[in-house]
Structure formats: structure tokens, C-alpha cells
């Protein structure tokens, strides 16, 4: 019995043990490429995420620069209008009362320039006076009776409204026409019917006819 055990130890691993070792080795060989592939995919995803983050940063920077340039363009236009207003005021101060017409012409010129700048930026006025009241673009601040304007139409424009493209920039503040009030009709009756000679019917002097 002892000799048989000793001979088995000396004879090496059994066939089952050899097969198990071979299977484990094969499994390890198969798992290494899968792990390497997973690492490559993780690295690729991390690189894509980094590229996406960089793209977002560039996009935000470009949008900020675009907004700054657009704001500067608008401010330059306003500065041009301000320059012309200052010239008109300076001209009025130098010319005094005799140069009122030239000042008025200068202000009209500046106003036209300002309107052209607004149109350049797609800012357009909203039609109001004489138009039917539209709560989407008109802001009614009062009503006034009118015999000339149709009730429900804009009678006066207090403050002009504007659109910026298709968006409402500011509604027009308006006064809306209403129907004129009807004066009370003269339905009162005389206290006394009088005859041709001035005396009341049905009684002498001092008597009054009672109406029922």
C-alpha cells in the first residue's frame, strides 16, 4: 500500500490535473486580450470626452466674443448719434435764437440717422395710431371718447413701440378710443300746461295742473 502511494507521487500529475491546468492557461490567455481591448475603449472614450469639453470651451469663447463684438457695434452706432446731438447743441449755443431753424434741421437729421441705425439692427416701429387695439403689441394706458375715431382703435400714441426682428422689444403705450357719451335726453315735462293767454288749464291764477 505504501509502495503504491509512493509510486503515484513519483509518476507526476494525473491526466485530470493536466487538463485543468491547460484549461486555466487557455482561459487566462483569452482574458488578457479582452482586458486590453476594454482599456483601449476606456482610453478612447476619455479622449472623446476631453475633445468634447475642449469644443464646448471653444464654443463658449466664440459666443462670448460674438456677443462682445455685436454689443460694440451697437455702441458705436449710439456714439455716432450722440456725436451728432452734441454738434447740434453746440451749434445752437453758438448761434443763439437766430439759428433755431438750423438746430431743428440738425435734430431732424440726427433723428433720421438714429432711425436708420435701428433699422440696421432690425429694430422697427410698431404701427399704432388709427390701428385696431392689439394687446399683443399695444399697451393701453387710458380710454378717451371720440366722435371721429372708431371705438376700439388707437386714438393717440403716447410712447412708440418697437420690434426687434420677430420679437416684441417694447409695446406701444396708447390711448384707446371709446364711444362718446350720450347726453341725457330731455324727457322732463313742464309743470303746467298753459293756454294761449298764459294761464294754466283747469285752474285760475295760482293754481297748478298736477300731472300724474
Q: Which residue has the higher pLDDT, 64 or 197?
A: 64
The set of residues, in sequence order, having a beta carbon less than 8 Å from that of 19 and lying 6+ positions away, is none
d(CA 25, CA 23): 5
C-beta separation of 159 from 141 below 8 A: no
Q: Which residue has the higher pLDDT, 112 or 3?
A: 112
Q: Could you tell me the three cell numbers for 153? A: 382703435
Which of 180, 175, 181 minimizes the C-alpha distance to 143? 175
> Parallel, antiparallel, or unpaired: how do β-strands 138-145 and 123-125 relate?
unpaired
C-beta separation of 172 from 137 below 8 A: yes
- Per residue in 110-166, pLDDT tens? 888 888 888 888 899 999 999 999 999 999 999 999 988 899 999 999 999 999 988
Q: Which residue has the higher pLDDT, 20 or 200?
A: 20
If you average pLDDT over every residue of the chain, what do you get?
75
pTM over 0.75: no
d(CA 103, CA 118): 23
Q: Which residue has the higher pLDDT, 138 or 2?
A: 138
- Per residue in 46-94, pLDDT tens? 888 888 889 888 888 888 888 888 888 888 888 888 888 887 777 777 7
Lowest-confidence region among 17-26, 111-120, 195-204: 195-204
Angle between helix axes 100-120 and 15-95 (nearest 10 degrees) is 170
pLDDT at 137: 95
Amino acid at each position: 500500500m505504501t509502495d503504491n502511494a509512493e509510486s503515484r507521487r513519483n509518476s507526476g500529475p494525473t491526466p485530470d490535473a493536466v487538463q485543468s491546468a491547460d484549461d486555466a492557461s487557455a482561459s487566462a490567455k483569452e482574458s488578457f486580450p479582452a482586458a486590453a481591448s476594454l482599456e483601449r475603449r476606456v482610453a478612447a472614450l476619455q479622449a472623446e470626452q476631453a475633445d468634447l469639453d475642449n469644443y464646448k470651451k471653444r464654443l463658449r469663447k466664440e459666443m462670448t466674443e460674438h456677443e462682445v463684438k455685436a454689443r460694440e457695434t451697437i455702441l458705436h452706432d449710439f456714439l455716432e448719434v450722440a456725436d451728432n446731438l452734441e454738434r447740434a447743441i453746440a451749434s445752437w449755443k453758438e448761434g443763439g435764437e437766430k439759428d433755431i431753424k438750423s438746430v431743428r434741421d440738425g435734430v431732424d437729421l440726427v433723428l433720421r440717422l438714429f432711425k436708420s441705425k435701428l433699422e440696421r439692427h432690425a429694430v422697427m416701429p410698431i404701427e399704432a395710431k388709427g390701428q385696431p387695439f392689439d394687446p399683443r403689441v399695444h399697451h393701453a394706458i387710458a380710454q378717451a371718447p371720440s366722435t371721429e375715431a372708431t371705438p376700439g382703435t388707437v386714438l393717440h400714441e403716447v410712447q412708440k413701440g418697437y420690434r426687434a426682428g420677430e420679437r416684441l422689444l417694447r409695446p406701444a403705450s396708447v390711448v384707446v378710443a371709446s364711444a362718446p357719451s350720450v347726453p341725457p335726453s330731455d324727457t322732463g315735462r313742464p309743470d303746467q300746461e298753459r293756454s294761449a293767454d298764459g294761464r294754466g288749464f283747469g285752474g285760475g291764477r295760482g293754481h297748478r295742473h298736477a300731472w300724474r
